[in-house]
Amino acid sequence: MTKVFTLSVDMLGSETKLNDILKGLNQSLLRNLNYKFRLYGSERAIKKKIEKYKRLIEVTEIINCDSYIAMEDKPSDILKSKKNSSMSLAINSVTENTADAVLSFGNTGALMSLSLLNIKTLKGIKRPAIASIWPNMKGESVVLDLGANTKLDSRYLIDNSILGASLASILFKIDNPSIGLLNVGKEDNKGKEEIKLASDQLKEISKNLGINYYGYVEGNDISFGRTNVVVTDGFTGNISLKTAEGTAKLFQSHLQDAFRSSIISKMGYFLSSLAMKSVRDRLDPRVHNCGILMGLNSLAVKCHGQSEYRGVSYAADIIYSLLENNMNKKIHDYVSEMHNKLMN
């Protein structure tokens, strides 16, 4: 019998449209037949919109929520006062085993704090990390940490390497994904002490545990696709991610201006608009920007606050694939094996 997976979805507290969420989940359901959903939001609004997705209705339970966590709410306030928010209840469903994973489009800091507090980290992992799937010239890579933990520490970098490699091996279906450590140069003497220490230890672990450590990579190597996994601390990763987002938007805005500059350019744009659309789709954060909270006992995923249905279905597909491949057990085994070997 094929296993059924239940995904709890926090429907409130973001600018993502209700219909985009429902359409996205419905699309993912067509590919992942054993999905079930628990939707935390306004029952009345959801019931009205879900009608046209007949198959989705059958596998969905709606849990009515009046309260939600806003984007500007601070984690400290949330822990005290928003116990019945859609996000809190969606996270609780995972700890209470009524769901296998949680998806939210809302406040990242709140999702992080509430997940850490309730779902807790896997044994052997000290701090969770946010991973994302980043398009590159060869395909895609996993980049982490994108902002869960801003402290630079060799131990966290090694944990992130293990987490990232597990994610890449499942998502990209490769046995031994290559791991690069983000730094300001490729030479051994470059960068900060914590990074050098992590690099030395990763070389050691590569020999003993057979992980595929490539060495240092630089900022441009992320887009070149130099390695399957790029590991950094949450401070550097967050700034790198947002710089890339900003650059992509700048490029798009310049292109639009340029195409508007003459009638011939406008005709050119008209003829090439399909090609342009495919580029936008491949790089659009509303489609691709989902942050996977890794290192927790259950999977929690944060999608872009203005996701389109394609972004929702993409995220739901990823979650299904990770659940089906038993990612957390694999990480747990990897980490225990690593600890055992390093102890001996």
Binding residues for a copy of itself, rule: CB under 8 A, are 74, 135-137, 147, 150, 182, 184, 187, 191-192, 218-224, 232, 234-236, 238-251, 253-255, 258-259, 261-262, 264-265, 267-276, 278-279, 282-283
HEC letters along 112-141: HHHHHHHCCECCCCCCCEEEEEEECCCCEE
**CA-CA distance, 141 to 150, in Å (whole number)?**
21
CB of 194 to a copy of itself, least distance (A): 11
Q: Considering the complex, state which of residue 33 and residue 270 has its C-beta at the smaller distance from a copy of itself.
A: 270
Give, in order, the Cα–Cα distances in Å from 271 to each of 262, 274, 279.
Answer: 14, 8, 14
Which 3 state secondary structure label does DSSP give 301? strand
* Max Cα distance, the chain (Å): 71
Q: Which is nearer to a copy of itself, 52 or 192 (CB)?
A: 192
Of 47 and 74, CB closest to a copy of itself: 74
Q: How far is the CB of 241 from a copy of itself (least distance, A)?
A: 7
Q: Work out how close the CB of 142 gets to a copy of itself at its nearest, in angstroms, rounded to a whole number.
A: 16
216: amino acid identity, one letter: Y
Tokens of 199: 């690099």
Query: CB of residue 262 vs a copy of itself: minimum separation in angstroms?
Result: 7
* Shorter beta-carbon distance to a copy of itself: residue 203 or 282: 282
C-alpha 169/C-alpha 101 separation (Å) is 20
Report the residue number, 46 or 231, with the smaller CB distance to a copy of itself: 231
> Least Å distance between CB 31 and a copy of itself?
25
273 bridge partner residues: none
